[in-house]
Structure 1
């Protein structure tokens, strides 16, 4: 089943072409890492695919949906993670059920089960009644992921969810996405940490030079030639008993 389909997508912002000719699909059970240098258009690609930015030409299956259908097809986690209002964590997570709630706004038992399951999945039980604005950065990230999981969509799109987190929270976040993929739910995640991308993603899409430069398995995308071309760096990579290890080394 195809969860996202982009066909010859092109976007221009402030009279500047960002990218063109972008075509890709995402199916069930994939963890797709969207990588590329700063300014390549990763955030723009995700937002235009969601219909949040105007598309100059081409098509996005998600952007073509009605608002109600799209809310049931994809959960969106933007780059900004600051939680400004002191709502309890449980209430924050419950916002993920808005696309399904009746007009009365009351939460039916089946929806409460989804909320409880998401809170448990992210290990947030002890924070259930705490104001979300009082959580640490890593805890806020987990609460927002729980909200997205409570939305119970087949696809999650998230923009740099590990930026600013310590190593433990970065790894834990990527493990959550990998676990979702193993259970059939897919994630498109933009990130700059190529090491974590190599270790956890089932597939990488390299956005550079105004389009998709490569799309495939991590070992086929993170090649010396493509790294030099897209990022201008060298890297060391090795397959170990603990999985692939990838480390950028020097600027060319």
Structure 2
């Protein structure tokens, strides 16, 4: 059963077409990197897929009631703003809200999910700190942990590695890859093509005009011609003993 199905999805905002005729499905066990240049519509696609903005076409998630949708897909937006000075532990626990009834206290499984997410994102030392006092990178990790605690079949994250140091970038991508290996799926927008190539099982490439250019394995999607036409770069792409390695080299236009 598909965790997300988009059929001819389109978005027009303020009289301008942002996305046009996007069709794709995400199945269990996939780690999908959503890539494209600035302004290609990556954030818009995910928000439309979740029903957060109006769209044409169909999304399997958009029409769901909010609570039902929150049990199917966890969402981490690009914005890192945290409004209330709750502890990091409490912030992560908020990921369990879709699973709790009105006035219901956290059950042992909710506490266990919160603890697992805190451990996964290396937040043990920060659990009692006010979330409003975190650095940008720390806040990103806490918000990823909140999404992980939600324990949904699908996790959608908009530039989750932005602002993280290299070690936490790698560990975050490994966490997403681990979820996919366990049968869940992740849809993650990324600008770092090196991380995308190394960790994602599949890439979805959007053009500057908001059209789907390619969808498949990283080596199939990031051809020299597409790198030139879509990104305006050349790159070295090798697969060795340490796995696939991708390094942008120069601007081509």
Pick the TM interval, shorter chain: over 0.9
Query: Structure 1 residue 136: deviation in Å?
Result: 2.9
1:162-201 correspondence runs (5 A): 162-201=161-200
Query: Structure 1 residue 83: deviation in Å?
Result: 2.4
Query: Structure 1 residue 117: deviation in Å?
Result: 2.0
Kept in 1, the 8 Å contact 2:238–2:245? The answer is yes
User: Match of 2:42?
Assistant: 42
Runs of 4+ in 1 over 3 A off after TM superposition: none
Output the TM-score relative to the length of structure 1.
0.96
User: Match of 2:133?
Assistant: 134
RMSD over aligned Cα, in angstroms? Answer: 1.2
Q: Call closer, same or farther: CA 1:210–1:139 in 2, change over 3 Å.
A: closer
User: Match of 1:151?
Assistant: 150
Alignment pair present for 1:70 and 2:54:
no
1:95-244 correspondence runs (5 A): 95-208=94-207, 209-244=209-244
Query: Structure 1 residue 64: deviation in Å?
Result: 1.6
What is the alpha-carbon distance in structure 2 between the residues aligned to residue 89 and residue 59 of structure 1? 36
Query: Structure 1 residue 225: deviation in Å?
Result: 0.9
How far does the alpha carbon of each residue in 1:51-95 deviate from its partner, in whole angstroms, 9 at most, with x for none? Answer: 00101x210000021111101000000001132422111100110
Kept in 1, the 8 Å contact 2:121–2:172? The answer is no
What is the alpha-carbon distance in structure 1 between the residues aligned to residue 170 and residue 109 of structure 2? 31
How far does the alpha carbon of each residue in 1:92-143 deviate from its partner, in whole angstroms, 9 at most, with x for none? Answer: 0110011111211421222222212222222322222221222333322221
What is the alpha-carbon distance in structure 2 between the residues aligned to residue 246 and residue 34 of structure 1? 16
Output the TM-score relative to the length of structure 2.
0.95
What is the alpha-carbon distance in structure 2 between the residues aligned to residue 85 and residue 158 of structure 1? 21
Q: What SS class does the counterpart of residue 21 from structure 1 fall into?
A: strand
1:13-52 correspondence runs (5 A): 13-52=13-52
What is the alpha-carbon distance in structure 1 between the residues aligned to residue 90 and residue 178 of structure 2? 24
User: Match of 1:12?
Assistant: 12
Aligned length: 251
How far does the alpha carbon of each residue in 1:167-194 deviate from its partner, in whole angstroms, 9 at most, with x for none? Answer: 2221121111111111111110001111
What is the alpha-carbon distance in structure 1 between the residues aligned to residue 223 and residue 14 of structure 2? 33
